[in-house]
Amino acid sequence: MKKNAVTNYVVHPLIEARWSPMAFEEQQISEQQIRSIFEAARWSHSTRNEQPWRFIVANRLSHPKVFKSILSALDETNQAWAVRSSVLAISFAKKNFDEDDSENRHAWYDVGLATAQLTMQASQYGISIHQMTDFDTEKVCSDFKVPENYEPVVSMAFGFVGNPKTLTAELEKKERAPRVRIPQPKFVFGKRWGSPFVG
Ligand SMILES: Cc1cc2nc3c(=O)[nH]c(=O)nc-3n(C[C@H](O)[C@H](O)[C@H](O)COP(=O)(O)O)c2cc1C
């Protein structure tokens, strides 16, 4: 199943094709592909080149215990479909700078940049990534003994898009629903706030 963006202007085909599925194929993601995906994160840009991103990653077939541990931290709705994903991961932000221990106000922003980048690298392999914020961050910190100066940002389910019929009726309806976006004039401004940009 495809849910390509219906764009008003030209975008890169990988951006057009990316979406967040819940139904996944029973297909393994190779270690090589996982490595490439996180290499894309590695080469993302960041404030002062601090690289404040960290990830815990579990391949369902090769690391079932870690996979289950991440899965158990997700809320019930996310667990229902993420259980069939091929890889689960959690991103973390390092809250302070290495150099002087001061607060890094942009750590989350940088983790988001790295995540966007790894998502596009995954897309190149036909792998979709569905991000989730509905998870128990305290459980994650305790189960994985996360140091105090790091905080969980987002959990992610990776996989190849599967048949929506494998989902519950409610989730299948959501899976098939059209993707919607606000139009550019509502968020790209020109002369003043709220006034649409004109080229
Ligand atoms: C930070 C973040 C948190 C999200 N949390 C959840 C979540 O907990 N459960 C879920 O089903 N989808 C979650 N999503 C997916 C969004 O709902 C989805 O990206 C959005 O509806 C746009 O759909 P698209 O990715 O298919 O374009 C999250 C996405 C992001 C970026």
Q: What is the pTM of this model?
A: 0.97
Compute the distance from residue 199 Cα to the ligand 1 centre, in Å. 31
Give the separation between CA 92 and CA 53, rounded to whole angstroms. Answer: 6
Compute the distance from residue 130 Cα to the ligand 1 centre, in Å. 6
Q: Return phi, psi of residue 91, to 5°.
A: -100, 155
Compute the distance from residue 21 Cα to the ligand 1 centre, in Å. 9
Query: Quick one: pLDDT at residue 41?
Result: 98
Compute the distance from residue 193 Cα to the ligand 1 centre, in Å. 27
Query: Quick one: pLDDT at residue 51?
Result: 98
- Token pair for 156: 């992610």
Give the 3-state secondary structure of residue 78. helix
Give the 3-state secondary structure of residue 62. coil
The CATH class of the 13-163 domain is alpha beta
CB of residue 181 inside a 6 A radius of ligand 1: no
Contact 159, 166 (CB under 8 A): no
Give the 3-state secondary structure of residue 74. strand
Query: Quick one: pLDDT at residue 40?
Result: 98
Q: Encode the chain (199 residues) as per-residue pLDDT tens digits.
A: 999 999 999 999 999 999 999 999 999 999 999 999 999 999 999 999 999 999 999 999 999 999 999 999 999 999 999 999 999 999 999 999 999 999 999 999 999 999 999 999 999 999 999 999 999 999 999 999 999 999 999 999 999 999 999 999 999 999 999 999 999 999 999 999 999 999 9
Atom of ligand 1 nearest to the CA of 135: 8
